[in-house]
Chain A
Amino acid sequence: MKFSIYRFDPDKDSKAYMQDYELDDARLNPGMMLLDALLLLKTQDESLSFRRSCQEGVCGSDAMNINGRNGLACITRLSELKQPVAIRPLPGMPVIRDLVVDLEQFYRQYRNATPYLINEDPVPEVERLQSPQQREQLDGLYECILCACCSTACPSFWWNPDKFLGPAALLQSWRFLADSRDQATEQRLSNLEGPFRLFRCHTIMNCVEVCPKGLNPTHAIGRIKELMVKRSL
């Protein structure tokens, strides 16, 4: 099986290049994921650098651009990929080395979304109550693994990564706005005002297209916009 992989080591390369790799078909088996192939390639060339950990799509380490589409290597089936498989780092982010990108901008926007529950009532001795229906509002939101597939597929985020929060952070904004236990609606909405932080979303929907967990940031952004409109009336 043939691969073409983005290589760049600032310690020795003056510019990035694509390197061809080949895996003996005898080492492949049906059901293998792209990460399995990358781990095999790394035994042939230990300098090939990428992040990985859980191997089952919950830690969010191995996001990369696979044949032009962002995804997690560990849950992308090899058998579904056209050859040579072109693998590049997530687009729009500074490359540290090979497939490893600097995600600081992405994490900063996550932190800017005030991603924690705010409730100023006295702390009860037991749990705060929440009905199953109220809890259901958080399904499709809390499962985000911060892999950055969505934000780095978003043209609005490419152009304004310092001003537009991006789909991942906005999904988190809605996750807390939608939580019946949270009391900071006003503060959260004020924090999203202005032409950029929220409103740079032009519903291109690349985020929905690529999310490996099947989440829908565009829908979440739409719900926040609705709240903004209601609030301004």
Chain B
Amino acid sequence: MEKRSFDTLIIGAGGGGLRAALQLAQAEARVAVVSKVFPTRSHTVAAQGGVNAALANVLPDNWHWHMFDTVKGSDYLGDQDAIEYMCRAAPRAVYELEHFGVPFSRLDTGKIYQRAFGGQSRDFGGDQAVRTCAAADRTGHAILHSLYQQNIRARTHFFDEYFAIELLQNQAGYFLGAVAMNIASGEPLLIEAKTTILATGGVGQLFRTNTNALVNTGDGMAMALRAGIPLQDMEFFQFHPTGVAGKGMLITEGARGEGGYLLNGDGERFMERYAPNAKDLASRDVVSRAIATEVREGRGVGANRDHVLLKLDHLGADIVSKRLPGIRDMVRTFLHIDPADTPIPVYPTAHYTMGGIPTDRHGQVVVPVQQGAEEPVPGLYAVGECACVSVHGANRLGGNSLLDILVFGRAAANHVIEHLKQQRYHQPIPADALEPALQRLARWNRQGKGESIAGLRAQLTKTMEDHCGVFRNEEVLQEGQNAVLALRERLREATIDDHSQVFNTARIEAMELENLMDVALATVSSALARRESRGAHSRIDYPERDDQQWLRHSLFNLDPMKMDYKPVRMQPLTVDSFPPKKRTY
């Protein structure tokens, strides 16, 4: 097998991976970025509304208020040290982007444009804040392209269209790189590295209707699970309130930030009942539950009363074109209506993975060792949606995901740079370390007739949608777990017909489905175990938040399959802790 050698291997070329790569390349570390798609095709490109930072360009603001909103938004499950770190770092992270060339929209003062977003307040729960820095409604595109451009300038080494197969580790548990496959040639490649950063994004493809790109299959999370790392808080999956009904395309929260609002089948602005103060700009979990409740109680819109409407026409064509041009284009393309004239049919849609690979605020992957304290896993880091720092806890605020990838991409890289000073040489790769990767590659060469990948994938995503949606209960989740376990067994016997070595997408999809199965199991099992309602996890049978029992992080282990728990880090770095309070908007 061909072998390449780098200081650091980054798997994934979205915003988190590229921000880390840039920091490392500028520090003259030898860094390789492996991505299964060309970097600018990563899903960060689809982020719309913006990135939160208390710049106070429009209204007074400070990082401490941002921190309060993030802790409250997380339903108190977020780790307060990491949240303080992120909110303090936010303004600098955004200014850096501006210096990198990101074409932010501008205010008349010439400063970066900021808009209102959900769950954000001034003065610890007071009036609406204006904190979300935006490049029209294409902020993710603007950021991802600028980060890629800066990496071109820094001469980062890219392996475009390489699919990561398995991580490598030695007996002592030290991570040593990964085996990846060149998709174009089908050839495996061993990438040796002193440190590996996972930046593979989320797993929206678990659900049949979702806002995510087809590539969001949780590859890094699944590789971590199979390498013996647990996944944290996987029961918390965000359903975005405004996906296009029945189709799933995302309509940014910025649409409500610019003054849009929701209407039910009676023409009522129903959010006033659920969140008297914040109304349509309450936290996403609150708005999604409200929409689902309106529809369940028969107040939906349409022939089947199965969605609600997002009204923008009162804003005027000028604001819609200027502030939401991408949304206007997309709605015209897919729905043949102009949102400047006609309300958009929307419904809560699977969007964001709050859980992921457990890390500390330096991006180091951490696991509990023998019931003891958390310890860093040597050589392994994770950043962005695939990681769980945890800054989002049980519910992420809009505008905090772009912030997360920037702040922790940079933080992880800085920690790696320090680590590399001590780690001058590569550790030897034992021969048996390659075995799991080789087996995984060989498995899809198997001939014969089995179930199809497409069929199994459709059943998995339907199962997750039916059994692990906005509202959950014990019985439905138990059925869901059983179904996922059964599908996972059936996948072992599935086969593909295409055995070409060249750009074999059938084989990639088969391996992606293996990853989805492992992460689905983590998600449904964690949801089944948590007997309370918190943030995005709503149990009809346990409708209240239970801080006595459940103010703790879940950890799902794959082999053997079991749940474990660890405390929430309630102590911030310098300020007082925000104790759990009843959460209203």
Contacts and interface: CB of A to CB of B under 8 A. Distances in A.
B498 A128 contact: no
Interface in B470-526: 496-498, 500-506, 509
B105 A9 contact: no
A58 B141 contact: yes
Contact of A61 (B41, B99, B326, B453): B41
Contact of A97 (B145, B335, B502): B502
Nearest to A44: B454
Nearest to A125: B95
Contact of A43 (B336, B454, B504): B454
B142 interface: yes
A119 B153 CA distance: 13
A55 B214 contact: yes
Given A47-B506, A54-B46, A96-B503, 6 more contacts: A9-B502, A43-B455, A59-B45, A61-B38, A102-B184, A146-B38
B572 interface: no
B110 A129 contact: yes
A117 B105 CA distance: 16
A131 B110 contact: yes
Nearest to B326: A58
A128 B55 CA distance: 13
B184 A96 contact: yes
Interface string A55-75: 111111100000000000001
B153 A52 contact: no
A11 B500 contact: yes
A112 B502 CA distance: 29
B498 A53 contact: no
A123 interface: yes
Interface in B1-56: 37-38, 40-43, 45-46, 55
Contacts of A181: 101
Contacts of A111: 152
A52 B454 contact: no
B258 to A, nearest CB: 16
Contacts of B505: 42, 46, 49-50
A126 interface: yes
A28 to B, nearest CB: 15
B213 A97 contact: no
B330 to A, nearest CB: 6
Contacts of A51: 37
A205 interface: no
Contacts of B105: 132, 135
Contacts of B503: 49, 96-98, 100
A56 B249 contact: yes
A127 interface: yes
12 contacts: A10-B502, A46-B496, A49-B505, A50-B505, A59-B37, A60-B40, A60-B41, A97-B502, A107-B38, A115-B152, A117-B149, A126-B95
B454 A58 contact: no
B467 interface: no
B141 A127 contact: no
Top 8 A-B pairs, shortest CB-CB distance: A117-B101, A129-B110, A116-B149, A46-B506, A59-B41, A47-B498, A97-B503, A43-B454
Among B40, B112, B455, residue most surrounded by chain A Cβ atoms (within 10 Å): B40
Contacts of A116: 100-101, 146, 149-150, 152-153
A59 B144 CA distance: 11
Contacts of A56: 46, 249, 330, 334
Contacts of B95: 124-127
Contacts of A134: 106
A179 interface: yes
Contacts of A132: 105-108
A9 B110 CA distance: 53
Nearest to B333: A75
A43 B452 contact: yes
A57 B333 contact: yes
B98 A128 contact: yes
A103 B503 CA distance: 14
Interface of A is mostly: loop
B150 to A, nearest CB: 6
Interface in B329-345: 329-330, 333-336
A179 B101 contact: yes
A12 interface: yes
Interface in A18-44: 31, 33, 42-43
B394 interface: no
Nearest to A146: B40
Nearest to B150: A116
Interface string A98-111: 10101100010001
A215 to B, nearest CB: 12
Interface of A: 9-12, 31, 33, 42-43, 46-47, 49-61, 75, 96-98, 100, 102-103, 107, 111, 115-117, 119, 123-132, 134-135, 138, 142-143, 145-146, 176, 179, 181-182
A115 to B, nearest CB: 5
Nearest to A55: B214
B37 A57 contact: no
Given A54-B213, A55-B213, A56-B334, A46 B152 contact: no
B265 interface: no
A52 B214 contact: yes
Nearest to A40: B454
Interface in B162-216: 184, 213-215
A111 B42 CA distance: 18
Nearest to B503: A97
A132 B38 CA distance: 32
Interface string B78-118: 00000000000000001100111101111111111000000
A124 B153 CA distance: 20
A53 B497 contact: no
B454 A42 contact: yes
Nearest to A132: B106
A34 B213 CA distance: 16
A129 B103 contact: no
Nearest to A111: B152
B111 A129 contact: yes
Nearest to A121: B99
A146 B149 CA distance: 12
Contacts of B103: 135, 138, 142, 179
A9 B500 contact: yes
Given A46-B453, A96-B184, A115-B149, A131 B106 contact: yes
A28 B467 CA distance: 27
Chain A CB within 10 Å, residue with most, of B103, B110, B496: B103
A127 B98 contact: yes
A129 B104 CA distance: 11
Contacts of A50: 505
Nearest to A12: B500
Contacts of A135: 103-106
Nearest to B185: A96
B152 A145 contact: no
Contacts of B502: 9-11, 96-97
B498 A46 contact: yes
Interface in B363-377: none
Contacts of A102: 184
